[in-house]
Amino acid sequence: MTNNTPLPPDSQPPSFDWRGAFERVTKALARFFRILIGDGESPLDDLRAAFGHLNPRKIVWGILGLALAGYFATGIYVVAPGELGVVRRFGAVVEPRVGPGLHYRLPWPIDRVNVVNVSDVRREVVGVFEPEEGHEHPEPPSKLQALSGDTNVIDVEIVVQYQVRDPEAYLLNVQYAPYRLVRDTVRQAATALISQQPVDAILTTERQALQDGIRAETQKRLDEYKSGLVVVGINLQKAFPPDEVAAAFIDVNSAKEDKNRAINEADGYANSLIPEARGQAQKILSDAESYSSNVLGQANGAAQAFESVLAEYQTNSKIYGEDVTRYRLYLEVLEKILPRVQIYTVDTANGGTINLRLFGNPAPTPAPAP
């Protein structure tokens, strides 16, 4: 158990006397210069003759002033365009985002500045067995194999581009190489999302959706880690089956393409027939409507004519009597019908001569008797 009892006054460690130490150093340097330029026989007579008129104390103070000025001058630093500086004072951040230009901080060990490039877009390849030139890492490259929702193994190759968004979080929270953090986060996001979809959708229709999902999931994880990194872009370069089953997948895809082609041909044939059939149906419908309108018009006209005749009959029946009116109507009907009737008459008195006569037309000349 730790004993927190304070020490007695006489056992406390003495504080360091900075002023006394400085005076002792000053006196020692002055003594050295006195010996250097003092009287007597010495190989340094020429130096004594040249610098004997100088005041040693002033020289010491000048040297100390220059050293102090140089020490404070170490606090000047430059931030280039595309970079941000983070100033920490005894480990605590005092200026999280120092922009480009000439700046000053307190010298070491009080202040410390870290300059981070926030405009550089960094690149990391995940799942590629052969490393890219310029992106070699101490760890050997490895494939990214994920299990789909229908228990099929898929090899995936992803290229991710990222950059530093928050230099303060990047310096304080990322404790190892940032490419490892991004690589492992992308691997986790791809494995989780691929396991939720069938292999056919991943290889065909859902490829773009999978790429967008990996980017969103990766950024979400990086934000949870407070890494200060932002994903600029993710490219799902390849998603393909392993070599052992690649031939079977090719056959399946070929069959699906044949199916889609047959469906498209059937849709094209249907599209060529349906408009023609619709046109014919519309023509028949238009003809039927025209015929209906014509028949209805004739029927309405006949009905109106009958109603006018009926009204006239009723009026004349009151004036001339019903029998007379009926007989007159009978005669009017015969006048309309008889001109279209052919009448044959046999003249038996003249030896059976047949006369053809049309009602309402002049009688033809009888043929001479044989």
pLDDT band, residue 4 (cuts 50/70/90)? very low
Inter-residue contact 255 to 166 (CB < 8 Å)? no
For the CA atoms of 106, 109, 110, 113, what is the dihedral angle to 10 degrees? 60
pLDDT at residue 52 is higher than 60: no
User: What is the per-residue pLDDT for 369?
Assistant: 45
Q: In whole angstroms, how far apart are CA 119 and each of 115, 126, 230, 239, 340?
A: 12, 22, 11, 30, 107
pLDDT at residue 7 is higher than 80: no
User: What is the per-residue pLDDT for 216?
Assistant: 92
Averaged pLDDT of the chain: 76
This prediction has a pTM of 0.52
User: What is the per-residue pLDDT for 220?
Assistant: 92
Task: Using a pLDDT cut of 70, give the percent of the chain over it.
Answer: 75
SS3 per residue for the chain = CCCCCCCCHHHCCCCCCHHHHHHHHHHHHHHHHHHHHCCCCCCCHHHHHHHCCCCHHHHHHHHHHHHHHHHHHCCEEEECCCEEEEEEECCEEEEEEECCEEEECCCCCCEEEEEEECCCCEEEEEECCCCCCCCCCCCCCCEEEEECCCCCEEEEEEEEEEEECCHHHHHHHCCCCHHHHHHHHHHHHHHHHHCCCCHHHHHCCCHHHHHHHHHHHHHHHHHHCCCCEEEEEEEEEEEECCHHHHHHHHHHHHHHHHHHHHHHHHHHHHHHHHHHHHHHHHHHHHHHHHHHHHHHHHHHHHHHHHHHHHHHHHHHHHHHCHHHHHHHHHHHHHHHHHHHCEEEEEEHHHCCEEEEEECCCCCCCCCCCC
Q: Name which of 14-28, 37-51, 208-222, 277-291 the model is least confident about.
A: 37-51
**CB-CB neighbours of 86 under 10 Å:** 22
User: What is the per-residue pLDDT for 35?
Assistant: 61
For 300-320, the pLDDT digits (tens) are 888 888 788 778 777 877 777
Q: Please state the length of the chain.
A: 370
Tokens encoding 357: 């006569």
User: What is the per-residue pLDDT for 274?
Assistant: 86
- Does residue 109 have a cis bond before it (omega within 30 degrees)? yes
Tokens encoding 40: 């007597």
Domain boundaries, the chain: 20-73, 76-117, 122-241, 253-316, 322-358
For 187-243, the pLDDT digits (tens) are 999 899 888 888 878 877 788 888 899 999 999 999 998 888 999 988 888 777 777
For 10-27, the pLDDT digits (tens) are 434 445 555 666 676 676
Tokens encoding 155: 């090899």
For 139-161, the pLDDT digits (tens) are 777 778 787 887 878 888 888 99
> In 3D, which of 187, 134, 194 has the Cα closest to residue 160?
187
Q: For the purposes of burial, counting CB atoms within 10 Å of the CB of 193, is it exposed (0-12), middle (13-18) or buried (19 or more)?
A: buried
pLDDT at residue 262 is higher than 80: yes
User: What is the per-residue pLDDT for 363?
Assistant: 45
**At the topology level of CATH, where does 122-241 sit?**
Tetrahydropterin Synthase; Chain A (3.30.479)
More confident residue, 120 or 246: 120
